[in-house]
Amino acid sequence: MGSHRRRLAVSGFDRGACAALSVLSAAAAALGAVSAGPAAAAPHGDTRAEVDRLYEEAEQATEAYNKADERADALRRQVSDSQDLIARQQQRVNSLRETLGSLAGAQYRAGGLDPAVALLLSADPDDYLDKASVLDRITAHQAGQLRELQGALREVAQERAEATRKLAELERSRAAVARHKKTVEQKLARARQLLNSLPDAERAAYERTSRSGRTAIPGLGDEFGSGVPASGRAAAAVAAARAALGKPYVWGANGPSGFDCSGLMQWAYARAGVHLPRTSQEQRYAGRQVPLSQARPGDLVVYRSDASHVGMYVGNGRVIHAPYPGAPVRYDPVGMMPISSVTRV
């Protein structure tokens, strides 16, 4: 029925411009305290700590952005369904109006004479009475048609009001995400500026040790957990994640040319035929949580208390993850930052 649809346009709307305002408000409040402008020179240790903090806040914002994007997809589907329904209902209204117009014209023409006079003038009184009976039935049918039309008009009005509400929500979300996106980009740009201010050797050392500067958890090596994936789908997801090594970090992206952390997990498991939610917070509950000591390749390792980062355990005390802008998808020690939970999909 799409060809009959009257589209309700959302100007300037794109995939990235979408949000659930409650999600964005909390994230924006957390982000607003950090300025994106230049700062006074700081010792190199402080610089690295500030870069860590900026990346962490930007990643929190990215996951909120991803959640908003998922919400917008659902809203767009709802709007599309509403538009299809409105088009079908409008066709029904038009058909009812045409039918009622024909019946009304016939009734007027047939009812133009007084029934008694029409009976006197009729060459065949029995034929007249038959016609009058038919006219009575048509009138009753017409009344039913009128009631049906009234109901159809009410349904169209309700659907139009609901579609208008959903479109207004999309517009509000678009404006909120535009502001939110700008904040994230400023933080990422500031982090890159600080990194570039470090001497080459320190910058290289930072890149090697990832954001937190942590190393592998002591004792976690070949004997950590099991080197065998827990299932065939986990093995397929690990193979897909390895195929993404070297791809750039792109915030808000879920492949195949670029990824953010949760986007990489979603993409890798999709290659294994498994649909994961979009955000790291939701991915945390996409399976059964297991102790870190029992981690197996394919398990999702979720970091920080707010679950704002996620990687995939691949054995030997390492994860594959999309670290941050400027760093490609790569291996890092599983203990590179505080671990919140391990999820077996």
What is residue 320's predicted lDDT score, i.e. its pLDDT?
97
Tokens linked to 162: 């609901």
18 counts as catalytic: no
List Cα–Cα distances, 88 to 1, 165, 210, 237, in angstroms. Answer: 7, 20, 56, 43
- Letter for the amino acid at 156? V
- Residue 231: the pLDDT is 96
Are residues 95 and 292 in contact, defined by beta-carbon separation less than 8 angstroms? no
Is residue 141 part of the annotated active site? The answer reads no
- Please state whether the predicted TM-score (pTM) of the whole model is above 0.85: no
**3-state class percentages of the chain: helix first, strand second, coil last, to nearest 5:** 60, 10, 30
Instruction: Provide the 3-class DSSP secondary structure of residue 310.
Output: strand
Please check whether residue 184 is in contact with residue 69, taking contact to mean a CB–CB distance below 8 angstroms. no
Measure the CA–CA gap between 62 and 66, rounded to whole angstroms. 6
Helix (H, G, I), strand (E, B) or coil at 174: helix
Complete DSSP assignment for 92-144 = HHHHHHHHHHHHHHHHHHHTTS-HHHHHHH-S-HHHHHHHHHHHHHHHHHHHH
Contact 286, 277 (CB under 8 A): yes
Provide the residue-wise pLDDT of the chain in tens; the chain has 345 residues: 443 443 333 333 333 333 333 333 333 333 333 333 343 444 456 887 888 888 888 888 788 778 777 777 777 787 778 778 778 777 877 777 776 666 555 554 555 544 544 444 455 555 655 655 555 555 566 667 667 777 777 887 888 888 788 778 877 776 767 776 777 788 888 888 888 888 888 877 777 665 444 444 544 444 455 689 999 999 999 999 999 999 999 988 999 999 999 999 999 999 999 999 999 999 999 999 999 999 999 999 999 999 999 999 999 999 999 998 878 999 999 998 899 999 999
Instruction: State the pLDDT at residue 13.
Output: 32
Q: Which of the 8 DSSP states describes residue 259?
A: B
**What end-to-end distance do the CA atoms of the chain give, in Å?**
39
How many residues are present in the chain?
Answer: 345
